[in-house]
Amino acid sequence: METNNFKQQPIPEIYQILMIEDDDDDIFIIKSMLTDTVDFRFNLDTSTKLEDALEKMKKSVFDIILMDLNLPDSHGLETLKKILNADETVPIVVLTGLNDKTLGILAVKEGAQDYLVKGEISGNLLARVISYSVERKKTEEMIKSSLKEKEILLKEIHHRVKNNLQVISSLLNLQSRYILDNQDLMMFKESQNRIRTIAMIHEKLYHTDDFNHINFSEYIESLASDLFNTYKIERDKVTLKISVKELVFGIDRAVPCGLIINELLSNALKYAFPESFSENPEISITYTKINNNEGDLVFQDNGAGLPKDFDPHKSETLGMFLVVILAEEQLGGKIFLENKNGTCYRIRIPIKNQ
């Protein structure tokens, strides 16, 4: 596992400054201001063109860059962007004309640390802005490094959880070889599927840069492939349609949602399409926002259907018990059964906290 150990550098005793400015008078004024400032030590290098400044940045290390945005070979925010592309770790203070305050504000939004209006600054103000900008940039880099390290650690946790769950699944698989009763064997297989369902969530999170959003379309496809293999059903025998682009969960809600889909899809593959079934088998999983507060997760098949008096809340099977508990207690939703032209489970889920 790689970590990024960032050590914050001390504030320099002598500031190495690169000033990018094509007006000799402005260069003279700035240098004079800093020279007359008490307890501020610096070395000032200057460039009148962007091209020359970029070459100097390759050869020397600077603590800060003071720059005008309008140069003989570059104009406006493009000047700033080119400097940032060359080295985004060096803090930049933009020097603007009296009529360019708006441009200065836009420059800060693009990544400059601050902007100063020519003709409105003193040596003490300029020295203070330089000191603050250098300190602020070093703090920003330290925070970025710390966040990156935490992301790497979090990815590693998801990776190890996934590996541990796979070990448990493998142990169950080994144990199942000693089971002679088909019903007991099926219970083992179902437990394996539930464990792999959770493992897949951690696998998706390990490969993502966004820990709050899981691509459920890809996840359901992976889950379906695993279940089709478990029950030895060829993919071209059953049409599976998935439309869940708006379904967004973090891990706390992704796991129960994944387990629900696992149970319903398992039941459909096992029971919805008996050998006597004459239609083209089809399963669809969709999610639609009803309003700003709720959305419907719908699992539907065109199979043989369930008994007319079937109530998921009164079912004694473990799988359906899990679906009800996960939908209503874990996701805070409500589950409805529509038993017409096959089976349709509609789970209304609050959007808040997704």
Q: Is residue 169 in some structural domain?
A: no
pTM of the model: 0.59
- Give the domain range for residue 20: 15-144
pLDDT at 72: 93
Whether residues 21 and 133 fall in one domain: yes
Mean pLDDT score, 208-215: 69
Model pLDDT, residue 92: 94
State the amino acid at position 276 in one-letter form.
S
- Which CATH number goes with the domain that contains 87? 3.40.50.2300
pLDDT for residue 54 is more than 90: yes
Q: Which pLDDT band, with edges at 50, 70 and 90, does 347 fall under?
A: very high
Q: In this structure, are 133 and 240 located in the same domain? A: no
Does 338 map to a domain? yes
Residue 175 lies in a domain: no
Q: Is residue 177 part of a domain?
A: no
Last residue of a domain, one of 109, 144, 179: 144
Least confident among 176-180, 212-216, 345-349? 212-216
**Residue 286 is part of a domain; what is its CATH number?**
3.30.565.10
What integer pLDDT is reported at residue 1 of this predicted model? 45
Q: How far apart, in Å, do the first and last CA atoms of the chain sit?
A: 30
Select from 116, 144, 172 the last residue of a domain: 144
Is there a single domain that holds both residue 131 and residue 28?
A: yes
Report d(CA 198, CA 339) in Å as an integer: 29
Q: How many domains does the chain have?
A: 2
Say if residue 132 is in the same domain as residue 22.
yes
Domain for residue 130, yes or no? yes
Domain end marker among 144, 160, 193: 144
In a domain, 112, yes or no: yes
pLDDT of residue 211: 60
Give domain status of residue 213, yes or no.
Answer: no
Measured CA to CA, the distance from residue 248 to residue 341 in angstroms comes to 29
Summarised one tens digit per residue, pLDDT across range 61-102 is 999 999 999 999 998 899 999 999 999 889 999 998 867 778
**Average of pLDDT values for 44-48?**
95
| pLDDT tens readout for residues 238-250 | 999 999 987 877 7
Give the pLDDT band of residue 9 (cuts 50, 70, 90).
low
Task: Answer whether residue 283 is part of any domain.
Answer: yes
- Read off the pLDDT band of 225 (50, 70, 90): confident
Do 135 and 247 have their domain in common? Answer: no
